Amino acid sequence: MRKKTRLSRFNVASLALGLAFLYLPIVILVIYSFNASRLVTVWGGWSLRWYVELFNDRAMIEAAWMSLRVAVASASIATVLGTLAAVALSRGERFRGRTLFSGMLYAPLVMPEVITGLSLLLLFVALNAERGFWTVTIAHTTLTMCFVAVVVQSRLGSLDRSLEEAAMDLGCNPVSAFLSVTLPLIAPAIVAGWMLAFTLSLDDLVIASFTTGPGSATLPIRIYSEVRLGVKPEINAICTLVIGLIAIVIVIASLASKLSSSQGESAAPL
Amino acid sequence: MEGAAGAVNAATGQPLLRIDGVVKNFGAFRAVDGVSLDIKAGEFFALLGPSGCGKTTLLRMLAGFEAPDSGRILLADKDIAQALPHERPINMMFQNYALFPHLSVYDNIAFGLRRAGMARADIATRVAEMVALVKLEGLEKRKPDQLSGGQRQRVALARSLARRPQVLLLDEPLAALDKKLRESTQGELMELQRWLGMTFVIVTHDQEEAMTMADRIGVMNAGKLVQVAPPRELYEAPRSRWIAEFVGDINLFEGEFKLRDGHRLVIATGGAGTLVAAEPREPIAGAKLSVAIRPEKVKLSRRAPVGEGSALNQLDGVIADICYLGGATTYKVKLDTGGMVQSSVTNSARLDVDAYSLNQQVVAWFTPDDCLVLDQ
Amino acid sequence: MSTRRIFARPARFAAIAPYVWMVLFFLVPFAFVLKISLSQTAIAQPPYEPVFDLTAGWNAIRTAFGALSVDNFRLLVSDDLYIFAYVRSVTVAVTATAILLLIGYPIAYGMARLPKRWQAVAMVLVIVPFWTSFLIRIYAWINILQHDGLLNKVLLALHLVSAPVVWLSTDTAMYLGIVYSYLPFMILPLYATLAKMEPALEEAASDLGAPPWQVFWLVTFPLSLPGVGAGVLLCFIPIVGEFVIPDLLAGSNALMIGQTLWLEFFTNKDWPVASAAAIVLLVVLLVPLLLYERLQRRQLEQR
C-alpha cells in the first residue's frame, strides 16, 4: 500500500479556489494601477503615470500623512495600554471590577463601528473638543487597544507559569521577574499587537469619519469619497501603495518575531 | 545498600529544615494535612507518593510558591513560611526545568547570580564552575531549544545550584528522561550531592528512584505523611498495609488472630490457611489482621523442604502463571487452600533446569520472620 | 500566599491606566448615546436639546431631565423605514454568514489537512488579505464588477452573456463583497479547531467501519462545532452593523441599519434618532454579543 495522504482532491481544489478568490481582486487592482490608459478597463501598457499624478494630488498626500501619523500614534498608545490590560487580566487573578473591565475590552472587538464612532463623537462634542488628529487618535486607540490586549493575553496565557516561578526562585521580585523573563517572551506578541493596531487604524473609515473634523480627512475618508464618484486609476495607485506599505510592515513584524523568539512557538500575525 | 552509606553521612547533621504541622487547603480540598518533618543538613531526602498526595504542594511551600495556611517552616531555626521565594536561601529545580527560552545556557545559569548582585568576574567564575560540574563545557552559548533533554536537565541543575542554596528542591527531576539516561543521572545526582554536602529534597512518584538515591524517604498519602524511614526499613517494615502495597509488590492474606506462641503469632487466613508470623514490634489492636510477605521471600520447591525453620509456613499449590522478567521470574501459585501467592525467583542459572512449568505441583514456603503482620 | 497572588498585586496596578481609558472613552460615551437618544432634534450646535449644563444649577438639570423622552424610540418602532432596515440587516447577516460557512469550511478543512509546514504558509496566506485595507478590497471588487469591468469582459468573451450584466448596486455584489471581506474571520476559528483535532480520531472512525462522509458527519463536524460557533458569531455580529459594503456595492433602495444610522447622522443631522437607532442596534446584537463573550472566555480558560 502506498503512503496514505490525508489530503483529498476536494481539499486541494477548495484551498486553491479559496486562495484565488482572496487574492485575485487585489492582484488585478495592483496590475491596473500600472495601466497607461485613462480608461480603467482598457489595458494600455505599463506606466507609472498614475503614481506621478498621485504625488501631485495635495489633498491625497495630506490625507495619507494624517493617516500615517494617526496610525503610528494610536498604535503606540494602544500597545502600551493593551499590554497593561492583558497583564492585568491574565496575571491579576480576581479583582474588583474585573468583569466590567474584560467586558469593556471585548465589546469593541465585535461592536459595529458606527456605534463606536457615534458614541465617541458625542463625547467629543459634549467636551467641546476640537476635532482632528487627536480625536481620531483617541478613537482609534480605544478600538485597537482591545485587539492588542487579546493578542498579548493569549500569549501570556500560553506562557509556562513555572518560568516566572523559576525567576522568583532565583531571586527576582514579581516586577523584576516580569521585566527579565515575561516581557522578553511576550515581545513578539506585543510587536504583532502593534502591527495589528497600526493596520486597523490605517484601514478605518467609519470611526474616523465620525471623529474627525473638517479639513483633516484620513486616507480612507479621502479614498471613500473618490470611490463614491467612480473608479479612477489614481485610486488604484494609492491602494497599491497602501498594500505595499502593509506588506513591508508584515514582513518586518514576522522577521522581528522570528529574531526575538528563537523558541518553537512564534506568535502568529493575528 | 546506597541508602545505608548515605545515612552515616547524614546522621552527623543537625536538623536544618523543620516542617511543623503544616496545613494547606485549596478551597475545600486539603492538599497537605498537618505534616511535620525534620530534614538534617546534608541529607538526601525523598518525598514519595502517588500523584495528588500533596508532595508537590509541600515542596512548593518549601520553595515559597505557596504559603501554608497554618504551621511553621523553619530553616536553621528561622520561620520562613511566609517569606517570598526570592527571599529564601532555597532553590528549586523544576519538573519541566523552566529554562528561560530567550536566554543562553550561560545567562540561564547566571540569572540568579545577577539577581544577587554578584560582580561580573565572580559570575563568570561561578558559571564556569557550574558548567564544569554538570559537564556542559562548550555549550554555554546555546539556547535551551538547541539542547537535548539530558543537557537541559543539567542546565536546570546548574542554574539551581549556582546560588549555593542551603537546600535544593528537586521536583521530579528525572521524569522527562528515558530509562537509561535516568539511571546514569541518578548516580551522578547522588555523587554530586555527597560531594557538595548540600541538602537535597526530591519529590518523586517513582519508588525505585527514591530508594536508590535517598537517605530517607517520606511517604505521603492524601496529604498526610504516613511513614518516614530509610529505604530498607520502608521496604521491609512498612507501617501500614497501604504503604506495604504502595512500595514494591506484596502478597497479602487477611485473617484472624488465633493464639500466641512465644514470640510468634498464629493467624488463620482465608486464602492461605493457618500461618505463623513473627510478632510485630508494635502491638496490634483487634483480632483482624493481615499477613504480608514480599514475593522474593517466598521460596518454591518441588517437594516439602527439609529443616524446621523453613518448615513453619508451607503451602501446597500449582503454578498458575509464569512471568519471565530477565533477572528474575515471577510465579503465581494457586494454593490448595484457595488463595494465590506470588513468588519471585532469581534466575541464577542461564539454563532453565530450575524453572517450573505451568500446572506443576509445588510447595511455596517462607519463614515466620519474613512475615509482616499488619492491621487490616 | 501563592506565587499567583504575589504576581496579582502588581498586575492589578497595570489595570489602572487601561481601565480609566476605557471608562472615559468607551463607557462614558455610551451614557451620552443613551442620553441623546432621549433628546429632541434642534437647529443648534450641538443639534439636540436639552443640553445638560452642570454650571446651570440643580433646577436647570431637573428641567432638562424632564425634557427627556422616548419619542425617538417610538419613531423607530413605528416607521417602516427603520423596521425594514433592521429586518434587512438581520436577513443579510444570516444569509451572508450561511454562505461564509459553506465556503469557509472546505477551505479551513483543506488547510487543516495540509502537511504541518504548509499549514503555517496557508494560514499566513489567509491572514494577509485581512491586513490589507478593508476599503481597498471593496474597491478592488468595484473595479472588477463595473459595467465594462473585467467580469463582464470575461463573460462576454466566453459568450456566456450577450450584453454586459449590471453587477454594481445589486445584492449579489453586496453579498460578494461581504463574503470576500469576512472570509478570513470564518476560516481562522474553523481552522483552529480543525487543526487541533487528533487525526487518530478520524482514523479510528474509519477503522471502525465508517465511510468518509460518515467520518465527517459523525466525528469531524461535531468536534468542530466550537469553531463553527466562533466563526458564525465573528461574522454575524459585525455584518449586522455593516456600513461600507452595502453603501458601496448594494443599491440604495433598501438600506441596512448601519446605513440608516449614517444617513440620519450625516445627511439629516438628526443626532437623537441616530443615537436611538444605535441603541436599538445594540439591543439586537446583545444576545450574540453575550454569547461571543462567553465563548471567548471559555476559549481563554481552556488555554
Low-confidence ranges of chain A (pLDDT < 50): 1-4, 262-270
Q: Between B256 and C49, where is the model more confident?
A: B256
Q: Which domain holds residue C163?
A: 75-301
C-alpha to C-alpha distance for A16 and B35, rounded to whole angstroms: 64
Inter-CA distances, C206 with B191, B198, C149, C195, C202, Å: 53, 57, 48, 19, 6
Contact criterion met (CB below 8 Å) for B59 and B225: no
The reply to whether C45 falls in a domain is no
pLDDT band at B1 (very low <50, low <70, confident <90, very high): very low
Task: Name the domain count of chain C.
Answer: 1
Asked which of B107-116, B120-129, B162-171, B297-306 is least confident by mean pLDDT, the reply is B297-306
β-bridge partners, B319 = B333
Interface chains of chain A (3 or more CB pairs under 8 Å): B, C
C23 near B CB under 8 A: no
* Mutate which: A169, A172, A262, A265, vs B, most B CBs within 10 A: A169
* Mutate which: B92, B93, B102, vs A, most A CBs within 10 A: B102
C-alpha to C-alpha distance for C140 and B70, rounded to whole angstroms: 69
The reply to whether C67 falls in a domain is no
pLDDT band at B244 (very low <50, low <70, confident <90, very high): very high
Residue A231 is classified by DSSP as -
Inter-CA distances, A204 with A8, A207, A232, B34, C240, Å: 39, 6, 21, 61, 18
pLDDT band at B151 (very low <50, low <70, confident <90, very high): very high
Report pLDDT for A215. Answer: 81
Greatest Cα pair distance, chain C, in angstroms, is 80
A104 near B CB under 8 A: no
For residue A166, the chain B residues in CB contact (below 8 A) are 92, 94, 98-100, 159
Report pLDDT for A266. Answer: 37
For residue C3, the chain B residues in CB contact (below 8 A) are 64-66, 85
ipTM summary value? 0.86
Of B227, B257, B264, B267, the C-alpha closest to B244 is: B227
Q: Which of B91, B99, B100 sits opposite A169 (nearest CB)?
A: B91
Q: What is the least distance, in Å, from the CA of A216 to any CA of chain C? A: 17
A158 near B CB under 8 A: no
User: Is the CB of B143 less than 8 angstroms away from the CB of A263?
Assistant: yes
C-alpha to C-alpha distance for C262 and A114, rounded to whole angstroms: 7
Report pLDDT for A267. Answer: 37
* Peptide bond before residue B173 is cis, with ω within 30 degrees of 0: no
Q: What is the least distance, in Å, from the CA of C295 to any CA of chain B? A: 26
Report pLDDT for B11. Answer: 46
Q: What burial class does residue A4 get, using C-beta atoms within 10 Å of its C-beta: 0-12 exposed, 13-18 middle, 19+ buried?
A: exposed
Cell numbers given for A243:
498594500
User: Is the CB of B67 less than 8 angstroms away from the CB of C3?
Assistant: no
User: Is the CB of B65 less than 8 angstroms away from the CB of C1?
Assistant: no
A:B CB pairs within 8 Å: 76
B85 near C CB under 8 A: yes
pLDDT, average across residues B141-150: 92
Report pLDDT for C251. Answer: 80
pLDDT digits (tens, 9 = 90+) for A116-148: 999 999 999 888 888 999 999 999 999 999 999
Chain A's closest residue to C104, CA to CA, is A18
Report pLDDT for B8. Answer: 39
Interface chains of chain C (3 or more CB pairs under 8 Å): A, B
Chain A's closest residue to B168, CA to CA, is A169
A252 near B CB under 8 A: no
pLDDT, average across residues B55-81: 92
* Mutate which: A3, A22, A42, vs C, most C CBs within 10 A: A22
Of A258, A226, A252, the C-alpha closest to A239 is: A226
For residue C26, the chain A residues in CB contact (below 8 A) are 104, 107-108, 119, 142
C2 near B CB under 8 A: yes
B66 near C CB under 8 A: yes
Whole-structure pTM value: 0.81
pLDDT band at B84 (very low <50, low <70, confident <90, very high): confident
pLDDT digits (tens, 9 = 90+) for A73-90: 999 999 999 999 999 999
Of C86, C99, C32, C129, the C-alpha closest to C261 is: C86
**Alpha-helical runs (H) found in chain C:** 3-22, 28-37, 58-66, 71-78, 80-112, 116-131, 134-145, 150-157, 171-196, 199-207, 212-215, 221-223, 225-240, 244-249, 257-262, 271-302
Cell numbers given for A144:
485597537
Beta strands B328-335 and B251-261 are unpaired
Q: Quick one: CATH architecture of A57-259?
A: Orthogonal Bundle (1.10)
Backbone dihedral angles phi then psi of residue C76, each to the nearest 5 degrees: -65, -35
B:C CB pairs within 8 Å: 12
Contact criterion met (CB below 8 Å) for B209 and B197: no
Report pLDDT for A139. Answer: 96
pLDDT digits (tens, 9 = 90+) for B355-370: 889 999 999 999 888 8
C-alpha to C-alpha distance for A82 and A152, rounded to whole angstroms: 8
Q: Over chain B, what HEC string results?
A: CHHHHHHHHHHCCCEEEEEEEEEEEECCEEEEEEEEEEEECCCEEEEECCCCCCHHHHHHHHHCCCCCCEEEEEECCEECCCCCHHHCCEEEECCCCCCCCCCCHHHHHHHHHHHCCCCHHHHHHHHHHHHHHCCCCCCCCCCHHHCCHHHHHHHHHHHHHCCCCCEEEEECCCCCCCHHHHHHHHHHHHHHHHHHCCEEEEEECCHHHHHHHCCEEEEEECCEEEEEECHHHHHHCCCCHHHHHHCCCCEEEEEEEEEEECCEEEEEECCCEEEEEECCCCCCCCCEEEEEECHHHCEEECCCCCCHHHHCEEEEEEEEEEEECCCEEEEEEEECCCCEEEEEEECCCCCHHHCCCCCCEEEEEECHHHCEEEEC
Q: Which of B92, B101, B159 sits opposite A263 (nearest CB)?
A: B101
Helix (H) or strand (E) holding A217: none
* Mutate which: B56, B86, B90, vs A, most A CBs within 10 A: B86
Report pLDDT for C94. Answer: 95
pLDDT band at B311 (very low <50, low <70, confident <90, very high): low
For residue C27, the chain A residues in CB contact (below 8 A) are 104
Angle at A159 between CA A154 and CA A160, to 5 degrees: 150
Cell numbers given for A25:
481582486
User: Is the CB of B85 less than 8 angstroms away from the CB of C3?
Assistant: yes
Cell numbers given for B229:
524511614
Report pLDDT for C64. Answer: 66
User: Is the CB of B112 less than 8 angstroms away from the CB of A171?
Assistant: yes
C10 near B CB under 8 A: no
Interface of B with A (CB under 8 A): 63-65, 84-86, 90-92, 94-96, 98-102, 111-112, 115-116, 143-145, 159-160, 163
C204-214 exposure pattern, b = at least 16 Cβ within 10 A, e = fewer = ebeeeebeeee
pLDDT digits (tens, 9 = 90+) for B332-347: 999 999 899 999 999 8
For residue B67, the chain C residues in CB contact (below 8 A) are 1-2
For residue B65, the chain C residues in CB contact (below 8 A) are 2-3
For residue C271, the chain A residues in CB contact (below 8 A) are 122
User: Is the CB of B101 less than 8 angstroms away from the CB of A180?
Assistant: no
pLDDT band at B27 (very low <50, low <70, confident <90, very high): confident
User: Is the CB of C2 less than 8 angstroms away from the CB of B65?
Assistant: yes
C-alpha to C-alpha distance for A62 and A212, rounded to whole angstroms: 14
Distance of CA B372 to the CA centre of its chain: 20
User: Is the CB of A162 less than 8 angstroms away from the CB of B96?
Assistant: yes
Cell 502478597 found at: B251
For residue C25, the chain A residues in CB contact (below 8 A) are 120, 123, 138-139, 141-142
C163 near B CB under 8 A: no
Low-confidence ranges of chain C (pLDDT < 70): 1, 42-45, 49-67, 293, 296-297, 299-303
User: Domain containing C130 — which CATH number?
Assistant: 1.10.3720.10
Distance of CA C273 to the CA centre of its chain: 22
Domain edges within chain A: 11-47, 57-259
Report pLDDT for C303. Answer: 46
Report pLDDT for A263. Answer: 42
